[in-house]
Structure 1
Amino acid sequence: MALQKSLTLAAALAGALALSGCGIFSSSDPHEPHDYPDFAKTTEAKVVWRTNVGDAEAKNLAPAVTDTAVYAAGGSAVVRLDRQTGDVVWRAETDGAVTAGVGTDGSHVAVGTEKGVVQVFDAEGKLAWEARLSSDVEVPPLVGAGRVIVKTSDTRVTGFDLITGQRLWHYQGQAPALTLRGFSQMAWSPAGALVGQANGRLMAMNPADGRVIFDAVIGQAKGITEVERLIDVVGRPWVDQELMCAAAFQGNLVCMSSQNGRLVWSQKVDAVTGPVADGRLVYEVDDAGRIHAFNRRNGREAWVNDQFLYRGASAPIRVGTALAFGDYEGRITFLDPATGNPVGSASLSGAVTTPAAQYGYGAVFQTVEGDVAYIVQGDGE
């Protein structure tokens, strides 16, 4: 029997690590989550709507917002929600529990299931096609440019034709002995599909044929033990018209030019989420739950918030004039992006372990208990 070892980063349980092979060995982090701090609420975090779509047991389910809908997955279903009300427009049953999703281009939505199958549904919720994969899938499929791109746990990246489901190409990476089993996600960039690797590298791949356009080093393995040498690219890369940013566990936060891949700056951060940027700053969460803000032009650190240590902070996102993140208790905290000070909060049911999706001046969050909620600042839209 072939053995596959993986290191699980349980951020929602305050950084507990579990090593799995045929047997299971676990070692609890000595740090308990800090109590939620008291602070003066100077802004309102308003839940505009909330819908339950089913438990996200795999903790790898993140919502997606398009011009016409909100898509989410939970249990053994994919759900389309009305953007204004959160009402269920349709619910499509999947072949087994969803372990990775959702990916969408607005007309098709793709998920991976516990049976190692990618399933693609059309805008009406009808199954368009499905394909069996080489291994299980925990990374949401990337949909667009006429392709569905799937990354499996055996490091294979496969490109399918969006309409027919034909398997067009694959790329086989080389996996280290240990990898982090935490949330990661692919992203589109001007250079192609950005795919983080377990060896600390970020690839840009041509969606048409799977050709590697560039291969950037985000972190380099150091140390003697396999645990010390963990260097997985984590979370979702950030891309806008100027910057492409990615982060690696026990590695660096690296920002490059979106146009040519030229290095702009790099900072040492033991990252556990992908980076998020706005017009002034780039934000990142480290393995202790500190939220860092860096000047997007030169990488100089602007501030660090250490009030939420070991609470499993999710990747921050801009909500109105504030910066918002979730934690292991389902609390959504608003920070002042200029200072990092907390200014407001709201509560959902279940831990928030995946990135929220931008929607207007707010964001849509999903919890492991299946809450999907649209949250805004103040009176909302």
Structure 2
Amino acid sequence: MNSKIGRRAALFGAAGLLAGCDTIDGWFGTTKTPLPGLRQSVLSADGAIKADPALSGTAIALPPPTVLQAWPMPGGNPSHAIGHVALGPNLSEAWSASIGEGSAYRSRITSGPIIANGLVITSDASNVISAYDLARGDRRWRFDTSPDDEDGGSIGGGCAVEGDTVYVVSGQAEVLALNIADGKPRWRQRIPATGRGAPAIAGGKLIFATIDNQVIAVSATDGKKLWSYQGQRVPTVPLGLPTPAIVEDMAVAGLPSGELVLLRVSDGRVVWTESVAGAGRAGSLTDISGIHALPVVADGRVFAIGMGGTSIAVDLRSGRRLWEREMGGTVTPAVAGDWIFAVTDGALITAVGRDDGRFRWVTALNDGLTEKEREERRGTRYAAPVLAGGRLIVAGDKSEALIIDPATGGLLQRMKLPGPVSLPAAVTADRLVMLTDEGRLVCWRGA
């Protein structure tokens, strides 16, 4: 078999499961006339998500905002607990630029922008890495990571930065290191299976998940494989794979099988394993149970939200489950102080107590809309919430962002976006950067 065709067939054959059942048509270019009647996500456990009346008098106190100088990896930092970041209240568009190929019938962007060394770095759906000046939006360099025997069209990978190096896991089964100044490659290596997300960086290693349910560590010096962990094999995987969370010598990885595993960075030794698979409702698609959202580690606890309708909190050191809730989703929650702000697969946003998993408030993201507007927004894919400047910002692929009051869950504003956004944003100092699904990079200035 031609190697190019074989790799492409394997890539799309494994892409049977995306980031949610009701989004498959939109991602593969087909549309169907909706049938009349009540619609409820087959993955949703949102009937169990209700505000706890006993918490109605409990105030949500946010930690002071932190001014960030970089957002060098998905989640903003190694633990993915970025907290409450500084951003001015008034947003105005500073610049925008095309990064290349956007999500389409046979290609998809799987990672949002990152920011480091005064640059915004992106990976498009054809695995082209580009760097843009954060202040002005000028493109500094562009590098096509596609191997010579590939045409570039596929599902993208992701990037992370440490020092003066951009590390890339491509959607074409390679890992690369690029010079951040000019984009020139320092090394590149083939990997055993395709990766669909950015690597974590720790202890001189790059650690990332692959579509065959492995966690692989390679040397940051030359890309050679150092160790691997094989999870339970599954027939379907999400289009994007979460970057592991790092704390000290510990890497917490979420896998397509729904496994949550703590591995030693130094040698790959398994410390504990947990799972969000099969613990949700009966009578649903329990095989759709992978982890698409980044695991978050904060104050000795690991928080993970699964696609199959279960979220858990686990003690970092022992792996002991602290609480479990029937709450499913595909995007990373924002964790700040005593609260977790999560967007569910049923289009709810909620404030969850970090210590006990109780719901302080629950808000439907289609609140305040007419029936026609609700129908137009049916099946919206939302990006990960960002807690910035005292408000929650939740972008969506219907070309708008919702601004939510974190204290009450009240909707403050619907902000028009220049295109659909289902990828996570990045925030530094007075800049908010989003990447539309169509491949448009947009930077707002906060004042």
TM-score by length of 2: 0.71
Going by fraction, where is strand more abundant, 1 or 2? 1
Residues 1:325 and 2:334 are matched in the alignment: no
The 5-angstrom pairing of residues 1-381 of structure 1 reads 4=13, 6-9=15-18, 15-17=22-24, 31=39, 44-57=90-103, 58-66=108-116, 68-74=118-124, 75-95=126-146, 96-97=152-153, 99-124=156-181, 125-182=183-240, 184-190=242-248, 192-220=250-278, 227-258=285-316, 261-308=319-366, 310-360=379-429, 363-375=432-444, 377=446, 379=447
Shift of 1:222: 6.3
Contact 2:241 / 2:256 at 8 angstroms: preserved in 1? no
Between 43-52 and 152-161, report the one with greater CA deviation.
Answer: 43-52
Going by fraction, where is helix more abundant, 1 or 2? 2
Q: Classify 1:365/1:85 alpha carbon distance in 2 versus 1 (closer, same or farther; 3 Å).
A: same
Q: Which protein has the larger Cα radius of gyration, Structure 1 or Structure 2? A: 2
Shift of 1:94: 1.8
Contact 1:111 / 1:141 at 8 angstroms: preserved in 2? yes
State the one-letter code of the partner of 1:15.
Answer: D
Q: Classify 1:285/1:191 alpha carbon distance in 2 versus 1 (closer, same or farther; 3 Å).
A: farther
Contact 1:45 / 1:344 at 8 angstroms: preserved in 2? no
Which whole-Å CA distance do the structure 2 matches of 1:275 and 1:29 have between them?
30
Which whole-Å CA distance do the structure 2 matches of 1:128 and 1:29 have between them?
50
Which whole-Å CA distance do the structure 2 matches of 1:207 and 1:260 have between them?
16
Contact 1:189 / 1:258 at 8 angstroms: preserved in 2? no
Between 221-230 and 259-268, report the one with greater CA deviation.
Answer: 221-230
Q: Classify 1:25/1:372 alpha carbon distance in 2 versus 1 (closer, same or farther; 3 Å).
A: closer
Q: Classify 1:53/1:252 alpha carbon distance in 2 versus 1 (closer, same or farther; 3 Å).
A: same
Contact 2:127 / 2:171 at 8 angstroms: preserved in 1? no
Over residues 64-112 of structure 1, what are the superposed CA-to-partner deviations in whole Å (9 max), with x where a residue is unaligned? 2235433212244212233333333322232235611122224322223
Which whole-Å CA distance do the structure 1 matches of 2:31 and 2:283 have between them?
16
Give secondary structure in 2 for the equivalent of 1:15: helix
Q: Unmatched 5+ residue regions in structure 2?
A: 1-5, 42-88, 147-151, 367-377
Q: Which residue of 2 aligns with 1:37?
A: none
Which whole-Å CA distance do the structure 2 matches of 1:25 and 1:204 have between them?
39
Q: Classify 1:240/1:64 alpha carbon distance in 2 versus 1 (closer, same or farther; 3 Å).
A: farther
Size of the aligned set, in residue pairs, is 364
Give secondary structure in 2 for the equivalent of 1:288: coil
Which whole-Å CA distance do the structure 2 matches of 1:347 and 1:111 have between them?
32
State the one-letter code of the partner of 1:336.
Answer: D
Q: What's the RMSD between the two structures over aligned residues? A: 3.3
Q: Classify 1:255/1:222 alpha carbon distance in 2 versus 1 (closer, same or farther; 3 Å).
A: closer
State the one-letter code of the partner of 2:101.
Answer: D
Which whole-Å CA distance do the structure 2 matches of 1:325 and 1:202 have between them?
26
Over residues 41-80 of structure 1, what are the superposed CA-to-partner deviations in whole Å (9 max), with x where a residue is unaligned? xx64433443322234323022122354332122442122
Contact 1:190 / 1:258 at 8 angstroms: preserved in 2? no
Which whole-Å CA distance do the structure 1 matches of 2:33 and 2:240 have between them?
16
Give secondary structure in 1 for the equivalent of 2:137: coil
Q: Classify 1:107/1:29 alpha carbon distance in 2 versus 1 (closer, same or farther; 3 Å).
A: farther
Over residues 207-227 of structure 1, what are the superposed CA-to-partner deviations in whole Å (9 max), with x where a residue is unaligned? 232222221233435678893
Which whole-Å CA distance do the structure 1 matches of 2:201 and 2:137 have between them?
23
Shift of 1:352: 1.8
Q: Classify 1:6/1:225 alpha carbon distance in 2 versus 1 (closer, same or farther; 3 Å).
A: farther
TM-score by length of 1: 0.83
Q: Classify 1:182/1:168 alpha carbon distance in 2 versus 1 (closer, same or farther; 3 Å).
A: closer
Give secondary structure in 2 for the equivalent of 1:235: coil
Which whole-Å CA distance do the structure 1 matches of 2:445 and 2:249 have between them?
32
